[in-house]
Structure 1
Amino acid sequence: MAKNFIQPGNTLTIPAPAGVLSGDVVIAGEIVGIAQGDAGAGEPCDVTTVGVWELPKVAADAVTVGAPIYWDADDSLATTTAAGNTRLGTAVEAAASGAATVKVRLIG
C-alpha cells in the first residue's frame, strides 16, 4: 500500500453541519452521506458515504430504477427534483407515487 494512504473513506468523521440523528442525511459541501450516530452542530459525526439506504421521499414522486435522486433539505425528503436540491445518488428500486420511501445508492 502506498505510504500516503490514509483510509478507504467509506465512513468519514466530520463536524456535523447541524444537529443530526443516526440515519439522517448529512450534507457538508461535497460530502454526502448518512449519520451513524447522533451529534450536535459542530460535534464529530461519523458519516457513511457509500452503500444503499432506504430514505423518506416526496410522496408525489414516482421513481424508476436508475433515476437520479436528490435531497430536499427544506423538507428532509429524497426527491427526483434536481432544482435547488443536492444529488444523493441513484434509485436502486422503483418507488411508486404515494410510497413513503425510496432505496438509494449513495454517490459516494
Structure 2
Amino acid sequence: VFHEKPDYFVLAWDAPHKTIRHEQFAEYKGQRPELPDDFKHQIRMTKHIIDELGINYQEIPGYEADDIIATVAKRGAQEGHHVEIMTSDKDMKALICDSI
C-alpha cells in the first residue's frame, strides 16, 4: 500500500454488531460458524496496533466493511479519483469500472 503513496487511505472493518441485512433477512449469514476466540483476539490486537500506528479505520454499526468500501470507492470515483481496492472479498469485483 505505502509503495503506491496514495492520497487517501481507508481501512474498513466489519462492526461486531448485527447489520441492516440481519433486520431484513433473519437468516443472513446464519450458516457461518462463529469466529474462534483466538481469531477474535487477533482482530483486537490488530486494531490496537493500527491505533498505535495512528492509522484511521472505519467501523460503522449496522454495516459491513464491504458496505463502507463500496461507498467510499464510488464516492471517490465520482469525485474524479482513481480508486484501488485491496481485499480478498470476491464480491468487490462488482465495483470494477474505469476509475475503480
TM-score range (shorter-chain normalised) is: under 0.3
The structure number with the bigger radius of gyration is 2
- Bigger relative contact order, structure 1 or 2, given CA contacts below 8 A and separation 6+? 2
TM-score by length of 2: 0.21
- Decide which structure has greater strand share: 1
TM-score by length of 1: 0.21
